[in-house]
A and B are shown apart, each in its own frame.
Chain A
Amino acid sequence: MEISKFAVALAGAALLFTLPACRKADEADTRVAAETNVINGDLAGAIGELDNVGTARSLLDFAGFDEILSGPAPYTIFLPDDTAFEGLGEEKLAFLKTEEGRPELIALLRTHIAPGTLIREDIKSAIASMGGPITVANVGGSDMKIGGSGDSLILGISGGPQLMPQSVRAGNGVIYVIDAIIPPSGS
């Protein structure tokens, strides 16, 4: 009986110790699940599944990128969230939605699109093996840096847009939501 009480107490203590670990694991699982949210459809459909990217969605649509995002070629899209576009200002944003502003909109969007499928784990391991920021080409005709450590990944050397946890893997690429617009390569 004494043993039995001791065993129960021991089991209870063990449970107390293991509960926080379980909670942490659950949180981690949730985040990983968000990072590796896999959908069967294409990038065009995946953008429709994301929250707080309504502005980017409408701009991609106005830029005529639908066929590109639903085509066979793989792309990685760094998709600014709605707050990021607010940083452009209403006037600028309104201009980008006009026919006169569309060439500039397309140029802007192109800097946010990289060729191929860039998975977060591959980005992190490349940064680790290079010992610092890595360089990624985009379809805007320039390169961009991705740096950071651990789960904190930043576009640019420092102070650039941050890769948010929210991301989606689609059949033809990956989407990372970012919290700021990627500045022009010359700036």
Chain B
Amino acid sequence: MTSNRAEETPQLLAEFTVSSEPGNERVALREVAAAAADCGLTLDQMERLKTAVAEATMNAIEHGNENRAEIPVDITVMRTLDAVAVTITDRGGDRADHVEREIPDLELKLRGEQRPRGWGLFLLQSMVDGMEVSTHGALHTVRLTMRTGGDDGNEGEQHAEQL
């Protein structure tokens, strides 16, 4: 039992911050991809994780830190026994942007009955195996998980070569 608990302790792969400036989500996704390159994610999983990280970081920059460059977004990448976990933390405190957004409906959007935007949270949730949101004072954290151990273990190596 003790041994299993030790094996389940998350391994920190990367910890970094980005300033809250539009476009820095691309820095985040590149850093996360590099940190998770050897975790056994398939190419498809890696692309989905990158998109989810980018969307969560955009939310943190725009809605959490309100594009104030001096306020950092903190990002960690961890490996657990069966997953890669990424946390994205801003200083925006509790807010409803992860629970109250309308579900995007393309037909309504094409008819002008729903705004063209509003895809971020939907995309984010569609891309990963798990998403948890927590708030501690001003710290608002989104935790994304992607299970490892896909059918094609070689694809992770292919991704590592492409980085």
Q: Are A and B part of the same complex?
A: no
Residues of chain B having any CB pair with chain A under 8 Å: none
User: CB within 8 Å of B: which residues of A?
Assistant: none
